[in-house]
Each structure stands twice: as C-alpha cells, then as structure tokens.
C-alpha cells in the first residue's frame, strides 16, 4: 500500500514542472489529502489494500492530476514576469540608448547578468532565472566574434577548439534546465537566433571593425526594439497558465523578431539566410522537448 502510494506521489512530482518550494507545498498537501482519504475509507470498513486501491482510483491518473495542478500554480505574478523580462529589456536599452558603445555599459550588463544567474541558481532555479541564463552565454558569442580577427592561418582554432567548447557549454546549460522543464530551456535559448540574425545583418566584411561598428550604430535602435519585444513576449509567457499557449508565445515571438530583423535591414538579410534562421529558431525552441522525452525513456 505504502509503495503504491509513494510511486503515485513520485509520478505526480516528476510531472509537475514547478519550482522546488511550490512543488514541496503541493506534494505535502496531496499527501495529507491522501492520508485523510485513506482514513475515511478504512473507517468505512475497507482493508488497507482495498483502501489504497480505491484511493488511487479516485485520484485518477498521476499525469492528469499533475497537469491540472500545473495549470493552477504555473501562472507567475507580475513581479516574476517583470524580473523574467528584465534581461531582454536591459539588453534592448543597451542598444536603444547606445550604451553598448562604452565598455563600462557592457561590463555592467555582463556583471549584472552573471550575478543574477548565480543568485537564482543558489535560490533553487526559480522560473525567472532561465531568461537570464540565455544572456550568460553572451561571452561565448563575443569570443566567437573575436575569432574573426585571428591572423590568417589560425582559423583552425575556431574549428578545433572554440566550436566544440561552445556547443558543449550550450548543451550543458540546456540539459540542466531540461531537468526542470523543457519550456524553460526554450525560454533560455530564445535570444540566440535573434543575436545570430543581427550578426548576419551587420555583415562583418574583410574583418574590418570600423565597418561593422558603423553598421551596428545604424541598426542599434532596431536591435533594441527587437529585444524589447522579446521582453513583452516573456512577460506574456510567465503570466499564461496553459503550456500550449506558452509554446505558441515563444515560437510566434521568435518569428516576429526575425521578421523585424529582415524588415529593418532592408534586404541585407537574404531570403535563404532568413529561412535558415527560422529553422534554427524552431530547432532551438522545440528540440528541448524531444531531448526531455528521450531522457525520460532512457532514464
């Protein structure tokens, strides 16, 4: 009896996808409810085994119950939504207000992101953390940009060292977040196709910094606008309850921001590159679901 009920509670816990504090409260309430139900059934004359089987039947499928609990507890507050959107808003303001041109602004942004990531990880990975995690990968992106200025003949460093390390780091972050909920992995990866899209639109040519720095200056207000729109999208994401609506918000926001890049760059982002970016975006946002499913089957 105890084993069956323990397995039931474990199954509910595995499918909840809530933060640790909320999960503990929900499981404790559910365990208390089951104990009360068992007591009533045994007082009615049922044996321990009969009472346990009847209780499990009345409770229904663990996955269905977990899904119902998720929808009733998953909606974040406006404070949580604002804090989740904050890195997108800060990154948008970084360009909209031309703070990106000063080393102090860039360093302040990086320190703020890393500090919040460390704090959030230490606090048990609350839902607002995952949008910050995506921006903690920016040093990896910047390191890749610096490789453009390596002397001729040293390009092999990018292939042999940087690319495997960058892929490993992104995969490691993704696997860590998938353990909580694959949707938060998608939330973390949301800015990456946008950053790649703007990089392609800026078109660094002949490794001349002055050229693409001027292009960055020209596009800075629109870069800021795309990231501000991501902030609005993730605010909506946190405030929604249903998972399919959350998935829709992430995909639609990715499509809208990539379209904004293509529109504001006036054809500098070619059609093949635009379509390739959409494919990359869909892979980044939806592949965590497949990975989570594979991990559950192999686990």
Rounded distance between C-alpha atoms, residue 97 and residue 94, angstroms? 6
pLDDT in tens, 103-132: 787 788 888 888 998 898 888 778 889 999
Render 28-71 in DSSP notation, one character per residue: HHHHHHHHHHHHHHHHTT--HHHHHHHHHHHH--HHHHHHHHHH
The predicted structure's pLDDT at residue 65:
87
The predicted structure's pLDDT at residue 63:
85
Render 163-196 in DSSP notation, one character per residue: HHHHHHHHHHHHHHHHTT-HHHHHHHHTHHHHHH
Name every residue whose Cβ is closer than 8 Å to that of residue 132 and which is 6 or more positions away in sequence: 86, 87, 113, 116, 117, 120
Higher pLDDT, 171 or 88: 88
Please check the confidence at residue 148 and state whether its pLDDT lies above 80. Answer: no
Rounded distance between C-alpha atoms, residue 299 and residue 287, angstroms? 18
Opening angle at CA 204, ends 198 and 210, nearest 5:
110
Distance of CA 49 to the CA centre of its chain: 43
Rounded distance between C-alpha atoms, residue 164 and residue 142, angstroms? 16
In the three-class reduction of DSSP (H, G, I as helix; E, B as strand; rest coil), residue 258 is classed as helix
Opening angle at CA 255, ends 253 and 260, nearest 5:
95
- 246 within 8 A of 131, measured Cβ to Cβ: no
Using pLDDT thresholds of 50, 70 and 90, give the confidence band for residue 253. Answer: very high
Mean pLDDT of the region 141-161: 68
> Global pTM?
0.81
- 250 within 8 A of 287, measured Cβ to Cβ: no
Rounded distance between C-alpha atoms, residue 174 and residue 185, angstroms? 6
């Amino acid at each position: 009896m105890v084993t069956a009920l323990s397995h039931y509670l474990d199954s509910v816990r595995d499918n909840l996808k809530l933060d640790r504090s909320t999960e503990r409260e929900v499981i404790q309430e559910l365990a208390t409810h089951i104990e009360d139900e068992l007591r009533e059934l045994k007082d009615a004359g049922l044996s321990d085994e009969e009472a346990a089987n009847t209780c499990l039947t009345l409770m229904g499928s663990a996955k269905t119950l977990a899904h119902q609990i998720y929808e009733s507890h998953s909606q974040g507050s406006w404070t949580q939504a604002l804090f989740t959107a904050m890195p997108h808003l800060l990154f948008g303001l970084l360009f909209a207000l031309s703070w990106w041109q000063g080393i102090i602004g860039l360093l302040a942004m990086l320190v703020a992101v890393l500090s919040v990531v460390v704090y959030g990880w230490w606090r048990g990975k609350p839902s607002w953390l995952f949008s910050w995690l995506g921006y903690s990968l920016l040093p990896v992106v910047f390191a890749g940009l610096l490789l453009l200025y390596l002397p001729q003949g040293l390009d092999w460093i990018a292939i042999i060292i940087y690319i495997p390390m960058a892929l490993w780091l992104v995969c490691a972050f993704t696997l860590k977040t998938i353990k909580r909920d694959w949707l938060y992995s998608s939330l973390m990866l949301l800015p990456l196709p946008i950053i790649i899209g703007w990089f392609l639109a800026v078109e660094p040519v002949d490794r001349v910094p002055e050229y693409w720095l001027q292009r960055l200056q020209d596009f800075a207000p629109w870069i800021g606008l795309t990231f501000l729109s991501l902030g609005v999208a993730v605010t909506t994401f946190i405030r929604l309850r249903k998972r399919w609506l959350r998935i829709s918000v992430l995909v639609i926001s990715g499509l809208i921001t990539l379209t904004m890049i293509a529109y504001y760059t006036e054809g500098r982002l070619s059609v093949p590159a635009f379509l390739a970016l959409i494919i990359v975006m869909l892979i980044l946002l939806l592949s965590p679901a497949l990975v989570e499913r594979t991990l559950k089957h192999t686990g």
